[in-house]
Structure 1
């Protein structure tokens, strides 16, 4: 409207003789509006231009003796031309716009398909890695010394108890797949989560005759167990196994004694990502935040605040309730070191 009104004002005020131009500016105005807003916008622009031309008296005047039908044809030739131009340009513009929208939609669908394929590939790669780790975890202990044999695979439902605090000790467990949580209830009734164990990890070592902790499956899991006698402790392979177990306990105690809340959570997330078999920057947490809090010696609220802080720092991002993507692994390692 401003464009058409401006052209009409220039013509009416005599600021410029538009008749000397090879093409009337209103034609360009109508064409530009049709190109921008489509056929409907162009038709409205042509109608407005025609109304202004009619009201402003810029259309040809009837000559005395001129045939009335010839006069009407002369008067409406220009508005009809504007209308035809508006419709043609508008149709072309609408077609171009629809083609562009279809192209954008096709590009969007292609991107979605590519993202889906990428996600499926990552999931398959992660699954293959977990299977490799599961096989490696089994093969790691299939070569145990003579007299020590692994039992068959025991499958455990989620939240199933493997052994209770106070049970007779003796059997040692190897995780074949899934995740096992080992915890202890103190005399004050507090729960301490001593560790989480994944495929290939060993747990169940006790120094006394009774279990000081209890073990529970956090998800559908499989374990195999074996028994150690005193003479087996002299075997270098068994010694390495025990040293690895003690080293993990020492590392955990070091974290609890020297790091603040956000450093503990950062170290925990990196450790879980590493132990889950190299799933890349993504780590699935089968444990709850309450489990994490009881493992790191923190409160549930403190763990939630630390995770939120790591998100604000753009070091991690959450995918659902249990999946964490490590956006800056090096920064998390430095933070948790």
Structure 2
């Protein structure tokens, strides 16, 4: 065989080597990525804080026979643990539940309903476990937000808020998540900001009524993107918009959460995308033991991945003013809780199998004010008493 042919054969045998090298490089990169994700998971596992499930009431509602779930979301206004840098006030204040939302995920895993419970709602706080192990007495005519502060624990009392919501609704809460000012601000930074709407210009004096001058413009009228401290100011703002009441900001908070969910979905729901967000939240969140690890958090996120924003609704429990407080409107509120306990959708009579395309069944007074999670930022906003 001529030497030129020998040369060609040797060249042919050498050609696959770059391909094998590229394959090896990809395997190494994949291994490095897997190790990096594992390292993030370990950091989450070390930093996430769980509340003691022993504080949950021994008289909880029975678990539902369907596969739907209820998730209690609590926004704490605590000033301790460095939160006073964002919210002002006493750095030792353990705070109350500034925002309370009960998320019902339907058994079809395609629909969800988020129910806002105004912080000033008058409720009965059932017996709750105190830090010394003693159980408190039930309190009637108390504001919902005060359940979080029962016992004065440095981390609040999420179990007491959960007990109160379960007693109020007759719904068994499967998971509870508490996030403070720092965690909220960090999460909005991590997603690159959230698109919101302001119906009017808002100035520094609107954030601080004790200020003598109007100050600089904080939010301009119309749509804008906010993050960090500015996002926190937007959802907590009372005096710049509406009548200065908590009711006036509930729908704004709903619009914000809906926009945040859309932003997270748009970024992608892979572990590589979700784990950094989970790590951000874990630094300042308190969760129930069922969410107390990166693995559990990811499994929970995956369980929600099939719910499109169009099939998620935000509502406020039927309410009326009772002086300076808020009372539930009956029987409308009880009808809402009954509909959620039954997990019914429009094409699904009680006891039937879930219908993926069906809309949730809601009382007319609730359905009329429902806000879809895919609504534009300025849609469906009102601001308390006219």
TM-score, normalising length from structure 1?
0.31
Quick one: higher RCO (CA 8 Å, sep 6+), 1 or 2?
2
Greater share of helix: 1
Structure whose CA Rg is larger: 1
TM-score, normalising length from structure 2?
0.28
